[in-house]
Amino acid sequence: MKAIIVEPNPPDYALRWAEVAAPTPQDGEVLVEVHATAVNRADLAQRAGHYPPPPGASEVLGLELAGVIAAVTPGVTGWQVGDRVCALLSGGGYAEQAAVPQGLLMPIPKGWSLTQAAAMPEVFFTAFLNLFLEARLKPGETVLIHGGASGVGTAAIQLARQAGCRVLATAGSAAKVAACYRLGAELAVNYREADFGEAIAEQVGGVDVVLDMVGSGYLARNIRLLNTGGRLIFIATLGGSRAEIDIRELMRKRLLLKGSTLRARPLAEKIALKEAFMARCWPAIESGEVVPVIDRVLPIAEAEAAHALLQRNETIGKVVLEIKTL
């Protein structure tokens, strides 16, 4: 089969569509003919050598897919050849075929294309995990979502709004701010034009939860904005990973600061996350109340161009890479 491989030549680490060995699914796994995958920041980090796949995972880029089951192994129940599925992966999505544990498979939501479904697993699982399981966000609470126009941000705004929360967001352009409002944010701040900490403090007051992918550059302002009992969840460090804090402020306001990743979690945790996500969010997904935001769809041969778009922060939502037309 063919897959995207990363040329080991810094600083470009060029991407090439090339022949590689096909995956061999183990018992309890299915082989999926991949129609589409989607680009995530983790792909860029892995390509540059900063985010290796967890032990046992495919070295091929790609943390999600949508496609059609081509083969099943002993131990697989409830799925058969020809089923249209989407799934979260630890790696291997930028390929014509991928082996997927049956516990991570999801059906294609009613009315969705495979291309649309490929944009859902990674960002919606990340948003759901960190808003509701890590931060314990509750209806009526106020949540600040940084990077509101990113893949995770667009998912998080929708899920928080659908859960009955007051949603605030930051974004880096007028178009991205407008996208946050369309998705349901009550207030969106262009961080290139205004200090989000001052704007939110003046117009809203405090917040109960912050979902942060920036890191140290926002830490002091995040802490100032948090209400007593507030929760700050770090899911990336795009703006730096080291900072000083006044621990007394954490104590006084009884704040929780927590770091979170998804990719390296054990399979059993990911399966439990998928089941919780489907139990809570699937009705809103199938009704069309919650949908992935897709900036554009490119052929897999243009993976480098897709990465460049993310690197330049030029996208709103996800970039999908099509591999097959089924």
pLDDT in tens, 126-146: 999 999 999 999 999 999 999
In order of 29, 96, 116, 285, 313, the CA distances from 109 in angstroms are: 21, 22, 10, 7, 29
Q: How confident is the model at residue 326 (pLDDT cuts 50, 70, 90)?
A: very low
- Give the number of other Cβ atoms within 10 Å of residue 29's Cβ: 22
Is the bond preceding 11 in cis, omega lying within 30 degrees of 0? yes
Burial category of 278 from C-beta neighbours within 10 Å (exposed 0-12, middle 13-18, buried 19 and up): middle
2-120+292-322: CATH topology is Quinone Oxidoreductase; Chain A, domain 1 (3.90.180)
Q: How confident is the model at residue 325 (pLDDT cuts 50, 70, 90)?
A: low
Residue spans of the domains in the chain: they are: 2-120+292-322, 123-259
Q: How confident is the model at residue 158 (pLDDT cuts 50, 70, 90)?
A: very high
Alpha-carbon gap, residue 63 to 39, rounded angstroms: 8
**What is the average per-residue pLDDT within 108-132?**
98
Tell which residue, 238, 252, 263, 298, has the closest CA to residue 125: 263
**What is the average per-residue pLDDT within 289-294?**
98
8 A C-beta contact, residue 82 and residue 69 = yes
- Under CATH, domain 123-259 is a member of which superfamily? NAD(P)-binding Rossmann-like Domain (3.40.50.720)
pLDDT in tens, 294-319: 999 999 999 999 999 999 999 999 99
Question: Is the pLDDT assigned to residue 5 strictly greater than 70?
Answer: yes
pLDDT in tens, 167-218: 999 999 999 999 999 999 999 999 999 999 999 999 999 999 999 999 999 9
pLDDT given for residue 10 in this prediction? 83
pLDDT given for residue 290 in this prediction? 97
